Amino acid sequence: MVDHRLSEEHEALRQSVQDFARKDVAPVIADYYEREEFAYPLVRKMGEMGLFGLPVPEEHGGMGGDYFALCLALEELGRVDQSVAITLEAGVSLGIMPLLRFGSDEQKRTWLPKLATGEVLGAFGLTEPDGGSDAGATRTTAVLDGDEWVINGAKAFITNSGTDMTGFVTVTAVTGERPDGRKEISAILVPSGTPGFTVAKKYSKVGWNSSDTHALSFDDCRVPAANLVGERGRGYAQFLATLTEGRVAIAALGVGTAQGCVDECLRYLGEREAFGHKIGEYQAMQFKVAQMELRAHTARLAYYDAASRMVRGEPYKKQAAIAKLASSNAAMDNARDATQIFGGYGFMNETPVGRFYRDSKILEIGEGTSEVQLMLIARELGLPA
């Protein structure tokens, strides 16, 4: 029997995050967004709530929950604001999970307790200025010199990389050549403040204005050889696995935004009058919101399916790609329709739908573009690469 009802624990978590999003985030986030300022008080509050530690075992200072719990939290945050939601998503899926899955015992002892409580944020440097979706075209290099890695290169669009809370960035770098002539790519942890590691000025972005995003550069940056994360030469494969997990989390965030658009439109349809009637009485408006609810509901089922497969230890690469594609489409389409329903007010940044519209485009790009998701689905169906 298929049952999509949440367990008591998951439902209690969902309600707790929903309360936080509505009472703490919603009243203040527009101001942070307008100032393009990182919302430190809200991020610290998420740390106090244990949200960063949801999928982290108790032995490492976490909540001992599962990845689905993180997804539920992201959906509720995305329902109100994406900047805060992506800070949590990247902090966990890109900052914590690589160490949890592949890190050494010493790396876990040193970093996971601080990451799980939100005291410190971790980031992951994969994308490069000339790389984009071609992550295998990594140019950053790391040469072993005695007991140190010497790193040179650059990374682009790295979330959570330049905050006062950022403790490190794990970067992918070419560490040699494989027997078949291809690049050997490894992952190396670089603590913030390491000489030769420079964080550029923050980007001026279309959306996600209250999240932290920077370009990074490495100029003869030296870190201990022990900062290798996982196996040498397995950095690219490790991060592909990390991205697959992250797509499920991004899908949950996108579903939250798609549902948030429905929430805002239902409120507005009951308040706004035109030609002597509440605009919610017009069938054209009713059909538009019905379509929006359809998109949010079906995208939610897609990420529930992917997350449940992940938690059970079953293959889920195709389902993760489907969920990410469905949810990013739903968020973008719903944000567009919500902005249309709100008319001129929807074009104003102080309205949630205005922020949703600006924010949602990146969901079709980050952690694998929509085209990459289609490619992955096709390959999982057995079609040739």
Sequence-separated (6 or more) residues with CB below 8 Å from residue 205 = 213
Residue with tokens 């980031």: 123
What end-to-end distance do the CA atoms of the chain give, in Å? Answer: 36
Q: How far apart, in whole angstroms, are the C-alpha atoms of residue 350 and residue 8? A: 35
Concerning whether 11 is annotated as a catalytic residue, the answer is no
> What is the torsional sign of CA 45, 46, 50, 52?
negative
Residue with tokens 């950053």: 140
Q: Is 353 helix (H, G, I), strand (E, B) or coil?
A: helix
Facing residues of 154 across strands?
A: 217
Four-point Cα dihedral 91, 94, 97, 98, nearest 10: -140
- From the candidates 76, 128, 364, 367, give the one annotated as an active-site residue: 367
Q: How far apart, in whole angstroms, are the C-alpha atoms of residue 342 and residue 219? A: 49
Four-point Cα dihedral 222, 225, 231, 235, nearest 10: 0
> What is the torsional sign of CA 118, 98, 111, 142?
negative
Q: How far apart, in whole angstroms, are the C-alpha atoms of residue 230 and residue 256? A: 33
**Tokens standing for residue 23:** 């009472």
**With contact defined as beta carbons under 8 Å apart, do 245 and 300 qualify?**
no
**Tokens standing for residue 94:** 């890109």
- Supply φ then ψ for residue 13, to 5 degrees: -65, -45
* Sequence letter at residue 358: R
**With contact defined as beta carbons under 8 Å apart, do 118 and 48 qualify?**
yes
**With contact defined as beta carbons under 8 Å apart, do 108 and 99 qualify?**
yes
**With contact defined as beta carbons under 8 Å apart, do 164 and 179 qualify?**
no
Indicate which residues carry an active-site annotation. Answer: 367
